[in-house]
Amino acid sequence: MTERLDAEIWIEAGRELLPEMIALRRAIHAEPELGLRTPATTAKAKEALAGLPLEFFDGPSTTGFVARLSGPANGRTVLLRGDMDALPLSEDTGLPFASRNEGKMHACGHDSHVAMLAGAAKALCANRDRLAGSVLFMFQPGEEGHHGARFMLEDGLINPLPDAAFALHVWPNLPSGVFASRAGPLLAAADRILITVTGKGGHASQPQFAVDPIPVACEIVAALQSFVTRRIAVEDPVVITIARISSGTTNNVIPEIAELEGTVRSLSESSRALAHEGVRRIAGNIAAAHGASASVTIVPGYPVTVCDERAVKLAHATAQRLFGEAAWKTLSAPRMGAEDFSYVLQKVPGAMLNLGATPEGGDHRTCCGLHSNRMVLDESVMARGAAMHCALAEAFLQDGFRESG
């Protein structure tokens, strides 16, 4: 009975705060910002938190900030994170609050993440006497490829480190209101590949007097796919995608260079290193076999997002305590997307959770997903998201990972 009463406190808080969260989400959605500098979004988030008993911490590298709520007891510390930046694409949803900033759109749900985190902060502040420790609310820009979490860590905004960390990410292709995650790798490391094949230019009618880089580039692409399936174990998978090939200027000139650009996705540091070595070896040796040369640059991206088993168990138990058995789904396999919350999880035990947000009347299997310029969300799930933030924070501060172990 006590557990149910505890759950009802956070469920009711989420419901009561939903109109405010929707208003905040829509205001952010209409004015999306990119990268590490999101001043308007930061201002909206801080305005939503005005008057609350929070300490604020800012850093020089981003417009992100951390707000600290200290409970009446000096116990554990738990971090809750919401990312703030948008994507560089033009919105085509027809929503009345659609983006007013051309070429920018909240197509990954970060607007809802900010709103849920602000809602949770309000609810937890109103129930501060229930907390056996402190809560850090991490409002982070620069998730979409800009390493915002790493910069905030380097700026010392999360120093000393908390004892646990959790993040929510909405997911249109998961039934509304369902939470999902898994222990171990959840999302992949993502690295950028740049390969330049240099041959010898010449007349297209006399290829024997040139070294054509284009067939060399094509052979490299095909060989990389064979490498993945024949040299990397299926239980520790890698995806190599060459997404851009650029070469030449006209129909009768063999160009001197061909450029390839793509991505390597991996689920462990060992498979990541194996993939990097393979890309360099294959590109260099194939080019040399044809009398050309290849330079390879690999730009490191986000590391693997690894969820602590104890944190996932706690989230699983908390979701079902709040909303029933059907509110949780254990994912059977990782996804090959990437996430910079991985930087936090490298230092702090915790978990990232997906929250289903299929739009009303939609089918989660076929609706527009994340990063689509037509993506829309079921805003009502933000009530569940805020409640989950609160219940996770309270449960961890009270018992740590003990009750989940």
Residue 77 shares a structural domain with residue 101: yes
The catalytic residue positions are 302, 379
Q: Which CATH number is 354's domain given?
A: 3.40.630.10
122 and 20 co-located in one domain: yes
The residue from 299, 328, 347 where one domain ends is 299
Residues 148 and 203 in one domain: no
162 burial class (0-12, 13-18, 19+ CB within 10 angstroms)?
buried
Q: Are residues 44 and 91 in the same domain?
A: yes
Which one of 273, 299, 325 terminates a domain?
Answer: 299
Residues 165 and 202 in one domain: no
- Residues 258 and 288 reside in one and the same domain: yes
Query: What pLDDT sits at residue 404?
Result: 46
pLDDT in tens, 166-189: 999 999 999 999 999 999 999 999
- The residue behind tokens 């929503």 is 95
> 146 and 8 in one domain?
yes
Residue 1 pLDDT level (bands cut at 50, 70, 90): very low
pLDDT digits (tens, 9 = 90+) for 58-80: 999 999 999 999 998 878 999 99
What mean pLDDT is predicted for residues 116-135? Answer: 97
Residues 191, 299: contact at Cβ < 8 Å?
A: yes
User: Does the structure show a pLDDT above 80 at 398?
Assistant: yes
Helix (H) or strand (E) holding 305: strand 305-307
Helices (H) and strands (E) in the chain, counts: 9, 16
Number of domains, the chain: 2
Are residues 168 and 257 both part of a single domain? no
List, in order, residues 6 or more apart from 377 with CB less than 8 Å away: 109, 112, 170, 172, 357, 359
Query: For residue range 252-300, what is the model confidence (pLDDT) as tens digits?
Result: 999 999 999 999 999 999 999 999 999 999 999 999 999 999 999 999 9
What is the DSSP code (8-state) at residue 110? H
End of a domain among 230, 264, 299? Answer: 299
Residues 122 and 245 in one domain: no
> Taking all residues of the chain, what is their mean pLDDT, rounded to a whole number?
96
Name, in order, each residue with C-beta under 8 angstroms of 121's C-beta and a sequence gap of 6 or more: 49, 52, 54, 67, 69, 135, 137
Query: DSSP string of 28-97?
Result: HHHS---TT--HHHHHHHHHHTTTSS-EEEE-SS-S-EEEEEE-SS--EEEEEEEE---BSS---S--TT
Res. 333 pLDDT band, cuts 50 70 90: very high
Residue 22 banded pLDDT, cuts 50, 70, 90: very high
Q: Which tens digits make up the pLDDT trace of 143-152?
A: 999 999 999 9
158 and 54 assigned to the same domain = yes
Residue 361's pLDDT band, with cuts at 50, 70 and 90, is: confident
- Write down the pLDDT at residue 405: 43
User: 364 lies in which domain range?
Assistant: 2-186+304-404
Residues 198 and 346 in one domain: no
Identify whether residues 266 and 208 lie together within a single domain: yes
Handedness of CA 73, 78, 79, 80 (dihedral sign): negative
